[in-house]
A and B are shown apart, each in its own frame.
Chain A
Amino acid sequence: MLSKELVAASTVPLVLSVLTGGENYGYALIQRVRELSGGRVEWTEGMLYPVLHWMEKEQLIESDWREGDTGRKRKYYRLCKKGRNALRQEREQWMTIHETLTKLWQPQSSST
Chain B
Amino acid sequence: MATAIQFDLKTAFHNWREKLRQSPHFRAENLEELEAHLRDSVTVLQSKGLAADEAFLIGTRRVGTPEALEGQFAAENGGRGWRDGLRRFFHNYKNRFLHLLILAYFAFGCWLLWGCLRVSQMIEPAARRADSLARVDYLGVPAFTRLFWNLMPYWYLPPLFAALYCGLVWTRKSAAKSSWFAFFSFATAFLFLLLIPVLIAAELPVISFLDRLPPRTFQAP
Contacts and interface: CB of A to CB of B under 8 A. Distances in A.
- Summarize A's interface: helix, strand, loop or mixed: helix
Chain A: number of interface residues, binned into ranges: 10 to 19
Contacts of A46: 34, 37, 63-64, 68-69, 72
A49 B33 contact: yes
A18 B171 CA distance: 45
B180 to A, nearest CB: 32
Q: Which of B32, B40, B63, B73 has the most CB of A within 10 A?
A: B40
A26 B33 contact: yes
Interface in B30-48: 30, 32-34, 36-37, 39-41, 43
Interface string A14-48: 00000000000111100000000000000011110
A74 B64 contact: no
B32 A27 contact: no
Chain B: number of interface residues, binned into ranges: 20 to 34
Nearest to B73: A50
B72 A47 contact: yes
B64 A45 contact: yes
B76 interface: yes
B32 to A, nearest CB: 7
B122 interface: no
B36 A73 contact: yes
5 contacts: A27-B40, A47-B64, A49-B30, A49-B33, A50-B73
Interface of A: 25-28, 44-47, 49-50, 53-54, 70, 72-75
